[in-house]
Amino acid sequence: MLPHAPICRPFLASSATASWCLVSTLRRSRASWCVPCRDEAPLLLTLARDQRVRILGVNYKDTPENARRFLGRYGNPFAANGIDANGRAAIEWGVYGVPETFVIGRDVRIAYKLIGPVTSDNLQTELKPAVERALANP
């Protein structure tokens, strides 16, 4: 199951329905000061076009102002954004550093974890297959 990090609860409760559990969800740890986060932004925007996937962003140890500026400059692929100002949620999720991506399955369990930036290569060979597997499992 997902860690009971404070950052997680608003995502699961933010919808009037259980739709977060009916689609594959990506949870992203990122920060405005993270150079690879800037490089992967176009790939996340492309992935966000898949209506079966919700991407949830978690701003790690950054200010809300910097996060808004980052999203304004590089685009906002996120269905929801959260803040992990002190890094506690990252510890509970087992984040090593930013960026990291978690594929959350319909059963609300972590189905896959990608450590490091999303690249054209790992998007095709790792992340998309993990999303497909998560969607295939009830």
pLDDT digits (tens, 9 = 90+) for 51-81: 888 888 888 888 888 888 889 999 998 888 8
The answer to whether residue 2 is domain-embedded is: no
CA distance 39 to 34: 9
The answer to whether 47 and 123 have CB atoms below 8 angstroms apart is yes
CA distance 38 to 73: 9
Residue type, 125: T
The answer to whether residue 67 is domain-embedded is: yes
The answer to whether residue 76 is domain-embedded is: yes
pLDDT for residue 22: 28
CATH classification of the domain holding 108: 3.40.30.10
Question: What average pLDDT does the structure give for the chain?
Answer: 78
The answer to whether residue 5 is domain-embedded is: no
The answer to whether residue 85 is domain-embedded is: yes
Tally of domains in the chain: 1
Which range is least confidently modeled, 4-13, 82-91, 127-136?
A: 4-13
Q: Where does the pLDDT of residue 120 fall: very low under 50, low under 70, confident under 90, or very high at 90 and above?
A: very high
The answer to whether 34 and 99 have CB atoms below 8 angstroms apart is yes
The answer to whether 81 and 11 have CB atoms below 8 angstroms apart is no
pLDDT tens digits for 16-38? 322 232 234 567 667 788 888 88
CA distance 41 to 48: 11
Domain around 65: 23-118
